[in-house]
Structure 1
Amino acid sequence: MKKIQALTDPEEIKASVTTFRKGDVSLETWKSLTHGAYSHNSLLSFQNDWETFLGFCREHKVSPLPAAVTAVRRFVEQTAKTRKAASIKRYIITISMIHRVHAHPDPTKHREVRFTLNKLYREKADDAGQATAFHLEHLNALHEKLSDSDRLKDIRDLLIWTLCFEGMLKRSELSALSYDAPQKTDNGFVLHVGEHVISLSEQAGDLIERWLLVSGVADGPLLRGINKHEQLGDTPMDHSSIYRVFRRAASELGEENAFTFSGQSPRVGASQDLSQAGLSIKEIQQQGRWKSPAMPAQYVGNKQARDEAMDKLKRKIELD
């Protein structure tokens, strides 16, 4: 974390505190407050992090600036239910910086908060090898930002993010999609993935029709590489191309300094979103076409179910 000089003028501090309590702080204000020490994308991350914390404070009717130690601790505990350790670390950095710059005591340094954080990091140690979750909120934010774009690459990437999330697709499944994998029915679009038929949202259906229209794809692979001249290739996208598309998602959201999405991220995020919506591990397993409940159980943090499933799978392999 860069050392940013704190405000010293009482009137300036008062005015700035009022601005940050209200929220929706402009990037220019963030840039001025941090004396231009951070990149545009870093400022976007700070802005998003602060809005997340403000939302929590408004919901619980507590002060965001200065924030009480208990409020920060409860914020950590609540966000830990849906966020990875890396995201929470970034939230804490932002909260700490805003308090220090406004000459307020830093609540994140209190032993109560540090104890909660240390406990959280230990509990989330198993997440280290797991892809960063790509949630519905991420997809909605990308739609809001890019849905009006006429660029071929924007339309394709938005379609990739949408199909991967709604269909919980593996990278290999995405690459293998043919031009006729999406089919329009009386009830909207469906996606054929092997022997499975997946219902798609109206939003996904609109994107499919738009992609087929602007790309001119009428045979071969549905999704393909695009060169710097906006020219469409003939071959399906490979794993490295898909990885770059998901790296772009984090960049578009201003989150590239906090985490990196991968082709596996939508399966992780969709599993967690479905679990939050009340679906069982078995139901998530069926929707994601897993042979075993072990992976969806791991994705949603059900370690007991994961271990039981892995033991059952190992016994089956030994018997075979």
Structure 2
Amino acid sequence: MKKIKPMTNQEEITVSTETFCQPDIDLSVWQALTQNQYSHNSLLSFQNDWRTFVNHCIANRLCPLPADVTTVRDFAELTAKERKVSSVRRYTVTISLVHRCHSYKDPARHREVKFLMNRLLQEKSDQAGQATPFHLGHLEALTEKLEKSDRLKDIRDLLIWTLSFEGMLKRSELAALPFDAISTSTVPYLLNVGETPIELSNHASLMIDRWFEISGITDGPLLRRINKHQQLGEKPMDHSSIYRVFRRAADELGMGQQLTFSGQSPRVGASQDLAEAGMSIKEIQHQGRWKSPAMPAQYVGNTQARDEAMAKYKRKLEKE
């Protein structure tokens, strides 16, 4: 946790605890809790992660704050059945942050939770298979097919595939992009992911102009749901919507029976394309904003580098 001074006033703690026992908490409250130490996208992640945890607690009649060790351990184990270990890890980081800001004992730092995370990490690393790569060739074929379409959904989906590939975006990063994540003060445009600016191609910049023109949006979420009547909604896309967009990509390529793309596919495909172009694992790690070289190493088939990075990460978990 960054240098955030925990609450000490008992009345303040009590009032804030009541607020954080609810699933829907305004971003301004998160900003105040974290004392302006985190970016807008980080606050969105905290908000979403905490909502998931609180909803789990409400459904099972458990207390989210302060939560006991068993609650956090069981939540992490249950979540791991459907989410990647990196997502589970992020949930525990958010739980830890909220407890420590309220001066409560941190259940996520208990050895039972640490041992579970260690086991999940090992199990996940032993599982064969990864997301189907989405390569530049796939993107170029989709662009050729759909770039002249006037349908709102075609323009949005093509923009999603392009930004995901060029920015090597995680699904959560893609879903959280606000309108002002695009900086149009330079050409080509910049895509700001958290505090990281990513230079886009001229083609991507033109697609963004077209999306702004046809959607008419001037604020709020950059990428939004579209109903069956081709009407643009106000809410951002969720993970299920993004999954359907990538499932559509395989269908549009006439490969729906052979390929199953997911929100992770562009990161895998871009990593492999960059490695093929001669970029090192470290350079790919930096490009994709990974904290460890383990995942890009796995994506490009460098299992030795992956195993070394995994071992380093596990040692870090044990020390925390």
TM range (shorter): 0.5 to 0.7
Deviation at 1:183? 1.1
Amino acid aligned to 1:137: G
Which residue is 2:295 aligned to? Answer: 295
Which residue is 1:236 aligned to? Answer: 236
Alpha-carbon distance between aligned partners in 2 of 1:174 and 1:211, rounded to the nearest angstrom: 15
Which residue is 1:36 aligned to? Answer: none
Amino acid aligned to 2:145: K
Q: Secondary structure at the match of 1:188?
A: coil
Deviation at 1:129? 2.8
Amino acid aligned to 2:187: N
Deviation at 1:187? 3.4
Deviation at 1:176? 0.7
Alpha-carbon distance between aligned partners in 1 of 2:251 and 2:128, rounded to the nearest angstrom: 21
CA contact (8 A) 2:142 2:253 kept: yes
Among all aligned residue pairs of Structure 1 and Structure 2, give the percentage whose two residues are the same amino acid. Answer: 72
Which residue is 1:314 aligned to? Answer: 314
Which residue is 1:213 aligned to? Answer: 213
Q: Secondary structure at the match of 2:234?
A: strand
Which residue is 2:197 aligned to? Answer: 197
Deviation at 1:185? 2.9
Amino acid aligned to 1:253: L
Deviation at 1:128? 4.4
- After the TM superposition, which segments of 4 or more aligned residues of structure 1 sit over 2 Å from their partners? 126-129
Amino acid aligned to 2:212: L
Q: Secondary structure at the match of 1:163?
A: helix
Q: How does 1:18-57 map to 2 (within 5 A)?
A: none
The reply to whether residue 255 of structure 1 matches residue 255 of structure 2 is yes
Alpha-carbon distance between aligned partners in 2 of 1:199 and 1:243, rounded to the nearest angstrom: 25
Which residue is 1:273 aligned to? Answer: 273
Which residue is 1:162 aligned to? Answer: 162
Runs of 5+ unmatched residues, structure 1: 1-125
Q: Secondary structure at the match of 2:249?
A: helix
Alpha-carbon distance between aligned partners in 2 of 1:204 and 1:227, rounded to the nearest angstrom: 24
Deviation at 1:219? 1.0
Alpha-carbon distance between aligned partners in 2 of 1:139 and 1:127, rounded to the nearest angstrom: 28
Spell out, residue by residue over 1:16-36, the C-alpha distance to the aligned partner (whole angstroms, 9 max, x if none).
Answer: xxxxxxxxxxxxxxxxxxxxx
Deviation at 1:127? 8.5
CA contact (8 A) 2:177 2:221 kept: yes
Alpha-carbon distance between aligned partners in 1 of 2:294 and 2:261, rounded to the nearest angstrom: 22
Alpha-carbon distance between aligned partners in 1 of 2:257 and 2:128, rounded to the nearest angstrom: 16
Spell out, residue by residue over 1:77-133, the C-alpha distance to the aligned partner (whole angstroms, 9 max, x if none).
Answer: xxxxxxxxxxxxxxxxxxxxxxxxxxxxxxxxxxxxxxxxxxxxxxxxx88430000
- The structure having more radius of gyration, on CA atoms, is 1
Runs of 5+ unmatched residues, structure 2: 1-125
Spell out, residue by residue over 1:16-73, the C-alpha distance to the aligned partner (whole angstroms, 9 max, x if none).
Answer: xxxxxxxxxxxxxxxxxxxxxxxxxxxxxxxxxxxxxxxxxxxxxxxxxxxxxxxxxx
Spell out, residue by residue over 1:222-277, the C-alpha distance to the aligned partner (whole angstroms, 9 max, x if none).
Answer: 00010111100110000000000000000000111101100000000000000000
Q: CA RMSD in A?
A: 1.1
Amino acid aligned to 2:160: I
Alpha-carbon distance between aligned partners in 1 of 2:319 and 2:153, rounded to the nearest angstrom: 49
Amino acid aligned to 1:306: R
